[in-house]
Structure 1
Amino acid sequence: MFFRHTLEQRGVRTPDDFLPQYRAAAARLGLTNTEPAPKTVEGWLYSGRKPQRPFRPVIVEMLGYSIDDLWTDVPEGTTPAFAPLTGTSPTAPHADADVDLNEMKRTGTMAVRRAKEFLLGKDRETVGDDTLGLLDDEVTRLVTAYPRQPLSTLWDDLLDTQEQVFRLLEGGRVRPSQLRDLNIKAAVLSFLVAKGFNDMETPHQAMTMTRVAASCARDAEHPGLIALSDGLKSLIAYWADKPEDAYHYAGQGAATAADLRGTVGLWLLGLQARAAAVLGDAETVHAANQQAADRRERVVPDDLDRLGGLFTYAPEKQLYYTVESEALLGHGNPQLAAQAEQAVQDFSDPSAPNWAFGDLAGSQCDLALIRLFSGDVDGAAEAIRPVLDLPTSHRNNGIVVSALRVRHALMSSPAHTAAAARDLRAEIEAFPVSRPALPRG
């Protein structure tokens, strides 16, 4: 069993060894009254018994691997190759160390105020190439890390880097040849900060920062970033349950991106399809998804695609969006179920370049929905299980909303009175309650 193998690698062989580390992990999560009895730990260690659900988040936090990986048999003498969950491994800085959601919102609010001042009073002129090189490295790191790590591990660096770029733009030391590059950096960083506010469930702040990103994109005369800013407005409205606004912003961005060859135009079509699905407009859903599929054949990667992260729309993400739009229409046929399973599979490898924990969780929730619509409650529970086992550091706004959609579908399912459906519904109800949107200290 990988669970026992992992503990033995750390010198943990008895309940007395195990419990102090378990208590420390529970404290990091802010959980109380979840300590197992020594006899219970013995069952996990020596009998291979799988822990009950209240104990699982603490074990995941403690060891840094999913419950399914930990309770996988490992042949004697072999070295397992399971990938640790980003931000939960005890060998890496804990995602929730010294971080409080209210403090993150406070510092973020200061950044919005600062950005407003920048937007209202920017004055720029002519910085060394070394400074720009350092900023290039930091922007690349943050863009790459954002979809893969909890926001709390990146937030301070993100705000600091944005502040540095703003200072350069305002400082009167920028050469005209550097101005466009710095405005592009400011747009990219403001985009990420806005996405962070959305993940923290503060849509007003997110929308304000998106407008800053759009202003910088216009100053850089970069149509791709301008279109992306409209896409982010659509995304914020979508997760805030404002589908009409989401559809409007996606259409506005799609018009800007109509002649672009990169993937930004495809993302905007995907956003249109999802918003139309919430509005019940199946004809628009299918038309937008078909147009995106046709355009995929003609994509020529641009500078945003080369940047990667949230700035490219990979084929696996396109499939995830397509499946989600169909799930939102209430569909659940075998062909769609196969597509949903493929979407989950496409995000199953954390080492893949386009992997994102949020996209994986979203695709797992969509698979659960589609299985529910075909009457398969047990299959839905199996699909959403990895989402419900996520540590609190990974439970951002989009993931919580996606999980709650499954709960809503359970309530209207013909099987809603079955014991399995009731248990799953209760567990999903507890999912957002036990997390402060992002980790706390």
Structure 2
Amino acid sequence: MAGSAHQGDPRTTLEFLLREQPRTYDEVVRDFGRLASDLGEDVTLSTRHLRRLASGERTNTTPVMRRVLQAMFGRPLEELLAPWDGVLPAATAGSTGLVLATGQPTADKELIEMAARRAKSFALTAGQTDLTTDVLEQVHEDVQRLATDYPQRPLTELLPDLFTTQDTLFTLLEQQRRPSQARQLYFLAGVTGGLLAKASHDLADPYAALTQARTAFVCADSADHNGLRAWIRGIQSLVSYWAGRTRESVKYAQSGMEFAPNSTASVWLPVSEARAWAALGNANATRAAIERAEAAWDSVQEDEVDELGGLCTFGRTRQIYYAAEALSLLPSQTTAAADYAARAVDAYEDTNSPEWAFGDQAGSRSALAITRIRAGELEGAAEAVSPMLQLLPEQRINGIIHCAQRIHRALGESPLAEAGGELQEQIEAFTRTPLKSLPS
């Protein structure tokens, strides 16, 4: 049951309803996402946000989130968030029953979803030599959904659809297509390959990540799409950076600038270069790259990759986080790093923002914790890192594990080492169960 770990009476009506049904918070959040999609609403809900709503710690929601929650539970949001008084009012008409209904077997829903996937597969691969607009729109929609979901949902929820989508695109490309359709399919295959490169990196497999990225770049060449070429170079720079291949990361970032005159990749690439220079200990090159990234905003115009959203575009919040992380690697830049990190942490507090990403949020907190360790603020460092250490194993992607290890190392090398033993133990416990260790 959702919330079963809590003791005592429910704090809100919502918490009571969640305890009464046989689903975890993560499953409820997935149902929320499906319902939002069915209703045509563009909104996501994180597990953390749901927990805070249920506990009464948070009451603010966007209008679109309010509509989906009310449809999901069949009750006004004010009633859901009201303190629990032991009396459950009658549900309003029109409730979907996704959470409250007990007479709809899960197996039936799975069969329906499986039938829908099979129908879509047939429509996409039924031997058509000339694809219809509907087919191309369907594949584009699938790729866009994966791009927007990627930064905000656990990878385990997305991998099956990533695999299926890539397989579908490769199957479609193996048949002869009109040049305009082939170009669209290569573009979408390149984006999907980039997402799978990121997925491989998140699972701590840089070899598979760079293999996917190289294939994605071939697709970008076949589509003759400079924005996609630049974005893939950004993925390659990211993978190389976290794999410790920092000079290679610099080269990928610099190479990508050849293709990124106006898209948001023109910001991503120099600030990615900055992280790699910082890892190499070059403070001057780091600051210069950060300044180039900031200046690039003056000429940014969104392209076809940016329009997909999510992981495919690079916003100001991510830029601030990247700068914070880069500068946090350089002891001489601690003051500037602390400023950037504080701004990034504040920006990522808004879980309703399209730019919100649990991985980047954790990275921002890691950078802030490191700057506080250098300032001798053990309690401040523990406070900064605490939310990160509460992430579930399925959210402990490769980059987050590396960030936690950096905090551990910074603490061990500081005068706070002895006093920070408890925090180091918490980090060690956290890193013992990364995403890559979970059963597939």
1:18-417 aligned within 5 A: 65=51, 70=55, 72=57, 80=81, 127-172=131-176, 174-257=177-260, 260-331=261-332, 333-334=334-335, 336-417=337-418
State how far apart, in whole Å, the 2-side matches of 1:71 and 1:425 are.
31
- Whether the 8 Å contact between 1:392 and 1:437 is mirrored in structure 2 is no
| TM superposition shift of 1:434 | 2.6
Aligned partners of 1:9 and 1:309: how far apart in 2?
29
| TM-score computed with the length of structure 2 as normaliser | 0.74
CA contact (8 A) 2:14 2:80 kept: no
What is the CA-CA distance between 1:126 and the residue it aligns to? 5.1
Q: Secondary structure at the match of 1:413?
A: coil
Superposition RMSD in Å: 3.3
C-alpha distance in structure 2 between counterparts of 1:291 and 1:247, whole Å: 14
Could you say which structure has the greater relative contact order, defined with CA pairs below 8 angstroms and 6 or more residues apart?
A: 1
**Residues 93-147 of structure 1: per-residue CA shift (max 9 Å, x gap):** xxxxxxxxxxxxxxxxxxxxxxxxxxxxxxx985222211111111111111111
TM-superposed CA distance for 1:70, in Å, is 4.5
Deviation at 1:373, TM superposition (A): 1.2
Structure 1 residues 143 and 348, CA gap change in structure 2 (3 angstroms): same
Cα pair 2:147 2:309 within 8 Å, conserved: yes
Residues 196 and 342 (structure 1 numbering): CA distance in 2 closer, same or farther, change over 3 Å?
A: same
What TM-score, normalized by structure 1, do the two folds share? 0.73
Decide whether aligned partners of structure 1 residues 406 and 69 sit closer, same or farther in structure 2, where only a CA change above 3 A counts.
farther
2:412 aligned partner, one-letter code = M
CA distance change for structure 1 residues 343 and 73 in 2, over 3 Å: closer, same or farther?
closer
Is 1:426 aligned to 2:430, yes or no?
no
Structure 1's unaligned 5+ residue stretches are 26-59, 82-89, 93-123
The structure-2 alpha-carbon separation of the partners of 1:299 and 1:62, relative to structure 1 and needing over 3 Å to count, comes to: closer
Tell me if the contact between 1:332 and 1:371 (Cα under 8 Å) persists in the aligned partners.
no
Q: How many residues align?
A: 356
In structure 1, how many angstroms separate the alpha carbons of the residues matched to 2:174 and 2:199?
Answer: 24
For the structure 1 residues 229 and 398, does the alpha-carbon distance in structure 2 shift closer, same or farther, using more than 3 Å as the test? same
Q: Does the C-alpha gap of structure 1 residues 265 and 69 become closer, same or farther in structure 2, counting only changes over 3 Å?
A: farther
Query: Structure 2 unaligned runs (5+)?
Result: 26-45, 60-77, 83-97, 101-127
Give, in whole Å, the separation in 2 of the partners of 1:62 and 1:287: 37
- 1:438 Cα deviation after fit: 6.5
Specify the code of the residue in structure 1 equivalent to 2:189: A
| Secondary structure at the counterpart of residue 262 of structure 2 | coil
Q: Does structure 2 conserve the Cα–Cα contact (< 8 Å) formed by 1:144 and 1:308?
A: yes
Mark the CA change 1:331 to 1:343 in structure 2 (over 3 Å): closer, same or farther.
Answer: farther
1:11-63 per-residue CA deviation (whole Å, 9 max, x = no partner) reads 499xxx89x989x89xxxxxxxxxxxxxxxxxxxxxxxxxxxxxxxxxx9899
In 1, distance between residues paired with 2:58 and 2:236?
46
Is the 8 Å Cα contact of residues 395 and 438 (structure 1) preserved in structure 2?
no
